[in-house]
Structure 1
């Protein structure tokens, strides 16, 4: 919980930076949002873009899963694009519908941004076939072609969630694919596949912070 509190505070402080970014006032080679390089989600602020590759070594790993249309989707879909990752399952009656509805608010606010991708990974892929995900997407009123609902190997999804996205509150490296993954976290990743934000998908206020942070990333050089 401590990092969620920190992020709520820091997101509020960064709104001012976001406004400046949108107005084109960010100085050359400055970076407004932090990076997250390990599962502790310790924010790392880097002032100079030339230092990023040296200091931020963690990136999202390659992947390949089926989407809701039974099409194989891999890391090429997020190449040079900002993306948001969520982990849901269609039979969830608690946090998943709230998360998806809140994320749809972000989608609707930024529906004209073609370089923004939403990836919703199923944590019950043995239930959530492409057809099931297709029905789920339609029933939630989601028409965005850049919002992919993904299914496939359980171990593949769980490994990606825990070791690439650091999706859970607890440090994911201590868990294996036999332990069920259930998290309210939304992960914001920049065009270089580096993690730049984590948000509580059940909190509407976090969606405003997410929108602002996406706009800030869009202004980065």
Structure 2
């Protein structure tokens, strides 16, 4: 009975010390937000593969498409099944971000040049100008050689619907914008089954898209946004190894 009494005393003392020293520190961490940020960074969620992008609680898949490529060959979403690929919306006469986007994709092309299961799908938002012949010249100018990199043109409404509704990547005609058109410069990443994928941010949410208009050499743009080509390269490899 005496031993039990002393045991209770020691347990009570430990609980008291915990309350005096540890609890205030936890409260401080909660106030500063470090529990949310640091603990999520170390959560099992961060150690998993890339996230699926959900819409109405369903995994988002690339909608059906079919357009002519730079070789005047009809290409559809079915041609990309079994491949990991990056999607972009661009136009060849773009005077601002498109050249940077294209060079970033060429760097990815060259990095994965030995992978026959990697590709790129580029859709022009000026199909009235970007004919297969124009796209082929653009491909030659920038060193686009991958047989699974299709630069596609076709019905304007279908392309804009694919951008704005299919991928939720903004594209629109805007007379005051450079070149007369506005687009986001974002890249979408698609897995072998046609599902949109991305890594998670530090709060456990998918980033959804990758910034395509900032090169690794630039590091960041004038707004302080960081380049994401490095992490896109890492995530492409993750999907290739799934």
TM-score by length of 2: 0.66
Q: Gapped runs of 5+ residues in structure 1?
A: 1-8, 19-25, 40-54
From 146, 149, 152, the equivalent of 1:150 is 152
Query: Partner residue of 2:135?
Result: 133
Query: Partner residue of 2:103?
Result: 101
Q: Gapped runs of 5+ residues in structure 2?
A: 1-36, 175-180, 199-208, 216-226
Does 1:164 find its partner at 2:166? yes
Query: Partner residue of 2:188?
Result: 187
Give the drift of 1:82: 1.1
Cα deviation digits, residues 97-143 of structure 1 (max 9, x gap):
01000111111111111111101100000000000000000001111
- Residues 160 and 152 (structure 1), Cα distance of their counterparts in 2 relative to 1, 3 Å cut: same
**Structure with larger RCO (C-alpha < 8 A, sep 6+):** 1
Query: Partner residue of 1:37?
Result: 54
Return the alpha-carbon distance in structure 2 between the equivalents of residues 157 and 216 of structure 1.
29
The secondary structure found in structure 2 opposite 1:187 is strand
Q: Does the Cα contact within 8 Å between 2:52 and 2:196 map onto a contact in 1?
A: yes
Q: Which of 1 and 2 has greater Rg? A: 2
Does 1:201 find its partner at 2:202? no
Query: Partner residue of 2:235?
Result: 213
The secondary structure found in structure 2 opposite 1:85 is strand
1:39-78 equivalences under 5 Å are 55-78=57-80
Give the drift of 1:178: 6.5
Return the alpha-carbon distance in structure 2 between the equivalents of residues 216 and 154 of structure 1.
34
Return the alpha-carbon distance in structure 1 between the equivalents of residues 228 and 77 of structure 2.
26
The secondary structure found in structure 2 opposite 1:119 is strand
Return the alpha-carbon distance in structure 2 between the equivalents of residues 78 and 161 of structure 1.
17
Q: Does the Cα contact within 8 Å between 2:52 and 2:60 map onto a contact in 1?
A: no
Q: Does the Cα contact within 8 Å between 1:190 and 1:217 map onto a contact in 2?
A: yes
Q: Does the Cα contact within 8 Å between 1:38 and 1:166 map onto a contact in 2?
A: no
Give the drift of 1:38: 3.7
Query: Partner residue of 1:46?
Result: none
Return the alpha-carbon distance in structure 2 between the equivalents of residues 211 and 76 of structure 1.
23
